[in-house]
Amino acid sequence: MLWVLVLHIVALLFWAAALLYLPALVAAVDARRAEITESPPDHASLARFVHTHVATPAALIAIMSGTVVFLMDRTVEVWLMAKLTLVTGMVICHAFTGLLILRAERGAVGRTGVWAWLLAITLCLLMAGIIWLVLAKPTLEGTPWAL
């Protein structure tokens, strides 16, 4: 059981690090593209590589190992449901990061950098919320709908 939890935490760290790195990488490429008149032929390899070979496998491992931990502990509490809601937000941001990378690869100069920074801020807020929920494990006692 402990090794599954460790696997979950390590995969989450890799996923979070990759998701925080990618918007900065896309914003940097967008800022540099404004200065370059002609883009290099294979300019998108780093962002695509990090997204497909680091972030996505780490996300899948984190979600699968988290599911195993959930099934083994049989924990059904309000804080866990709130955490899973925030994780769903991270998954949506993960997909949006992929779309942002595709937009940057196509050379869409303009608001790509702004979207990248908004994405990074959203991810930071989601991750901070997840960390707080996991460490504090708040309860909502006295409410009729609390589990």
Most confident range, picked from 6-10, 79-83, 110-114, 140-144: 6-10
- Listed in sequence order, the residues at least 6 apart from 80 whose beta carbon sits closer than 8 Å to its beta carbon are 70
- Backbone φ, ψ for residue 69 (5° rounding): -60, -45
| Residues 68 and 4: beta-carbon distance below 8 Å | yes
What's the token pair of residue 18? 């990759």
Domain boundaries, the chain: 2-136
pLDDT, tens only, 117-134 = 999 999 999 999 999 999
pLDDT, tens only, 29-50 = 766 655 545 555 554 568 899 9
Average pLDDT, the chain: 85
Residue 94's identity, in one-letter code, is H
| Total-model pTM | 0.83
